[in-house]
């Protein structure tokens, strides 16, 4: 008998990652597509629907029972609606219904960072932990909060740690100023280094290479980002007392260059609060897609 499968899609700001998954989210096929957000919000919706259709119609998608779909932004998982996604330009898009109509499958729907945290808690770095703060640092910064074993949803609004104000000048995509995301995301680190040094770089990895090469401007930008991240995590640690902080997203690839100073500074800022352990994500940039697969199996 053919193995049953589900299909999963993680709609990112730059790339969409898709997979066909067997039981226990065993990955059978992986695919990716450029998001193409410069083409506009409607085109991105169409790209996502076409990607799901391609996965569901793939010869390896046998006996497919369900699809899982995760997106960034403010997501109402109960109604299957993207309320607002600044990175994709979406507002009030009934994406679950559109996807279900297009594929003929029941569709499980969720928020990329919360679903990535779910995957880390079932399959990765946060297994067997009940109180976890998952921090995704990439183009933007988002958090997922697991408290006493429950992922906080709050109608889709929980976890906006990236929009805590940590300084007072840098403009943010949200319309505010001085947000954590505007000064400590991977994109912000690269942008701020380019502005201060006069040497534009492609990403935070290049800034870290400059830190290691002894560039004082790179060290200043990096250390400021660490300080701001520690300040925001201290707020999170004070409010929900995680035992573990899992760092995901592209900046987690910095490894100890990020984790060691961030742990040291965070622990300095905490007094009576629980001091969490900081670890990198296990599942890397596949966490949200695998999590979409977990959601799909729940309804398959």
281 part of the interface to Zn ion, by CB under 5 A: no
179 part of the interface to Zn ion, by CB under 5 A: yes
Which are the contacts of 175, defined by CB distance < 8 A and separation ≥ 6? none
Q: Which long-range contacts (CB under 8 A, 24 or more apart) does 170-177 make?
A: 173/86, 173/87, 173/140, 174/86
145 part of the interface to Zn ion, by CB under 5 A: no
178 part of the interface to Zn ion, by CB under 5 A: no
Q: Contact 216/197 with Cβ under 8 angstroms?
A: no
Minimum distance, C-beta of residue 174 to Zn ion, in the bound complex (Å): 3
174 part of the interface to Zn ion, by CB under 5 A: yes
Nearer to Zn ion, 160 or 282 (CB): 160
Q: Where are the alpha helices (DSSP H) in the chain?
A: 41-56, 95-103, 112-123, 180-184, 186-197, 204-212, 216-240, 256-269, 287-299
Nearer to Zn ion, 54 or 227 (CB): 227
Q: Count of residues binding Zn ion (CB under 5 A)?
A: 5
143 part of the interface to Zn ion, by CB under 5 A: no
d(CA 269, CA 275): 10
What is the β-pairing status of strands 27-34 and 15-21?
antiparallel
Q: Tokens 């400590």 belong to which residue?
A: 184
Residue from 41, 106, 176, 203 in contact with Zn ion (CB under 5 A): 176
The count of other CB atoms within 10 Å of the CB of residue 28 is 15
Nearer to Zn ion, 6 or 183 (CB): 183
Minimum distance, C-beta of residue 8 to Zn ion, in the bound complex (Å): 29
Residue from 158, 172, 234, 247 in contact with Zn ion (CB under 5 A): 172
86 part of the interface to Zn ion, by CB under 5 A: no
Q: Contact 167/231 with Cβ under 8 angstroms?
A: no
Minimum distance, C-beta of residue 180 to Zn ion, in the bound complex (Å): 8
Nearer to Zn ion, 169 or 271 (CB): 169
89 part of the interface to Zn ion, by CB under 5 A: no
Nearer to Zn ion, 173 or 299 (CB): 173
DSSP symbol at 12: -
Nearer to Zn ion, 21 or 180 (CB): 180
Minimum distance, C-beta of residue 163 to Zn ion, in the bound complex (Å): 4
Minimum distance, C-beta of residue 144 to Zn ion, in the bound complex (Å): 18
Residue from 37, 96, 163, 265 in contact with Zn ion (CB under 5 A): 163
Nearer to Zn ion, 183 or 262 (CB): 183
Alpha-carbon 295 to chain mean position: 16
d(CA 241, CA 94): 35
Minimum distance, C-beta of residue 127 to Zn ion, in the bound complex (Å): 32
d(CA 87, CA 80): 18
Query: Residue 213 burial by CB count (10 A; 0-12/13-18/19+): exposed, middle or buried?
Result: exposed
Nearer to Zn ion, 177 or 223 (CB): 177
Minimum distance, C-beta of residue 181 to Zn ion, in the bound complex (Å): 5
Per DSSP, the three-state class of 195 is helix
| Interface residue list for Zn ion (CB under 5 A) | 163, 172, 174, 176, 179
């Amino acid at each position: 008998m053919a193995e049953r499968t589900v299909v999963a899609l993680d709609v990112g700001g730059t790339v969409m990652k898709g997979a066909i998954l067997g039981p226990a989210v065993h990955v059978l096929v992986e695919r990716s597509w450029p998001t193409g957000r410069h083409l506009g919000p409607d085109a991105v919706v169409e790209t996502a629907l076409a990607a799901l259709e391609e996965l569901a119609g793939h010869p390896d998608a046998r006996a497919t029972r369900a699809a899982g779909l995760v997106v960034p932004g403010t997501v109402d998982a109960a109604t299957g609606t993207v309320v607002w996604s600044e990175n994709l330009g979406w507002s009030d898009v009934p994406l679950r219904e559109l996807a279900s109509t297009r594929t003929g499958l029941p569709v499980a729907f969720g928020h990329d960072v919360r679903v990535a945290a779910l995957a880390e808690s079932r399959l990765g770095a946060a297994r067997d932990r009940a109180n976890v703060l998952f921090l995704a640092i990439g183009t933007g910064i988002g958090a997922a909060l697991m408290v006493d074993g429950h992922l906080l949803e709050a109608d889709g609004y929980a976890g906006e740690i990236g929009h805590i104000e940590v300084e007072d000048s840098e403009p943010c995509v949200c319309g505010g100023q001085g947000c954590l995301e505007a000064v400590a995301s991977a994109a912000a680190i690269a942008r701020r280094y380019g502005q201060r040094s006069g040497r534009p770089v492609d990403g935070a990895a290049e800034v870290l290479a400059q830190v290691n090469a002894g560039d004082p401007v790179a060290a200043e930008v990096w250390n400021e980002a660490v300080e701001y991240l520690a300040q925001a995590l201290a707020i999170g640690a004070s409010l929900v007392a995680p035992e573990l902080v899992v760092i995901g997203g592209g900046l987690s690839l910095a490894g100890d260059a990020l984790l060691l100073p961030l742990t040291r500074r965070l622990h300095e800022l905490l007094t009576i609060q629980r001091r969490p352990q900081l670890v990198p994500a296990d599942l890397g940039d596949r966490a949200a897609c695998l999590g979409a697969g977990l959601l799909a199996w729940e309804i398959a």
